[in-house]
Structure 1
Amino acid sequence: MKLLQPRPLTREAFAPFGQVIELEGATQFAINGGTTQRFHDLARVDTLAEGGRPLISLFRAQPRAQPVRLTLMERHPLGSQAFLPLSAQPYLVVVAPDHGGRPGPLQAFVTCGWQGVNYDRNVWHHPLLALEAVCDFIVVDRGGEGCNLEEWPLAEPTGIF
């Protein structure tokens, strides 16, 4: 089994795959008569392909046994997919560039817990990887007609930690 070493999730390192949703470095301004601070335009939500619509869901991820074993990657060809954690529990993010319609070399990131991610359309990523506890996420992705899920089993399982 190959081993993959996760690195800290940063905007710069994750940019080829989408956006990191975090407050640090965000455009912000006061609204509602100064009682609320708005952190503006944190991710590029892309759901309108082929008549799609924004879909908001809650995902509850069970913690994975360690070492985490990666066997499958997925992507969404018709829209982006954003994950906003509802707790400060760190979780893993695994992505890969596209190599001719299949995942290329895997890259792993570990979040600070409160960071969210928005996978751009067609970005290969692993399903949710909670680490220490059950984690809830608000998920914004595409609803509507058309096939918006492709899965690819990994030829060689990869372990993390």
Structure 2
Amino acid sequence: MTETMIRLQVEPLTREAFASFGDVIEASDAAHHFTINGGNTERYHDLAKIEPGSDGRSIVSIFRGQPRALPFTVEMVERHPLGSQAFVPLSGSPYLVVVAPAANTPGVEDLRVFLARGDQGVNYARGVWHHPLLALDGVSDFLVIDRAGEGPNCDEIRLDEAGVIEF
């Protein structure tokens, strides 16, 4: 890797901006929602396409992320070629989401950085490159829905050039 670092811009996480990478999981008016349980509960329905792959099964885990200090240098990304991976924050704290398109091996110029609110989750579509968990304001728990099954489901690469998030 060269010593060059590209400054990465942070943008707000929205359904529209994130659509090519997967789903934004949030209770918003844009989501299909309706009242259930005798009018006591609002159900925000079918928020993410969970893909365990043909030979996999969906599993639920909790990841506890340590906070990352800013500025943060992005030197690697990973992807899950056999299934999607969803992260739903449980601690209510904002976090960063770094992604690149699934199509090719990404370079730093392909990265996008989103600031997710503590009430927004993400579902990385199958094969989408992303950086591992980037908690910001302290130790943060995330409910994670992803794939278990046969076959390797995590590819990691080091970027030729690093990107820095200064925020």
**TM-score, normalising length from structure 2?**
0.91
Aligned pairs for 1:97-116 within 5 A: 97-100=101-104, 102-104=105-107, 105-116=110-121
Residues 40 and 158 (structure 1), Cα distance of their counterparts in 2 relative to 1, 3 Å cut: same
CA drift at 1:11: 0.4
- Please state how far the C-alpha of 1:112 moved relative to its aligned partner: 1.6
Give the drift of 1:144: 0.9
CA change 1:99–1:40 in 2 (3 A) is closer
Identify if the C-alpha distance between structure 1 residues 7 and 123 changes in structure 2 by more than 3 Å, giving closer, same or farther. same
- Structure 1 residue aligned with 2:140: 135
Question: In the TM superposition, what are the counterparts of 1:39-50 in structure 2 within 5 Å?
Answer: 39-49=44-54
Deviates more, 1:139-148 or 1:33-42: 33-42
1:11 and 2:15 matched? yes
User: Structure 1, unaligned stretches of length 5 or more?
Assistant: none
Distance 1:75 1:98 in 2: 8
What is the CA distance between 1:126 and its match in structure 2?
0.5
State how far apart, in whole Å, the 2-side matches of 1:125 and 1:103 are: 10
**How many residues are matched?**
159
- What CA RMSD, in Å, does the superposition of the two structures yield over aligned residues? 1.1
| Structure 1 residue 153: Cα displacement | 0.7
Q: Which residue of 2 aligns with 1:33?
A: 38
Question: Partner amino acid for 1:57?
Answer: S
For structure 2, list consecutive stretches of 5 or more residues without a partner in the other structure.
none
Q: 1:80 aligns with which of 66, 76, 84?
A: 84
Runs of 4+ displaced beyond 3 Å:
none
The TM-score normalised by the length of structure 1 is 0.95
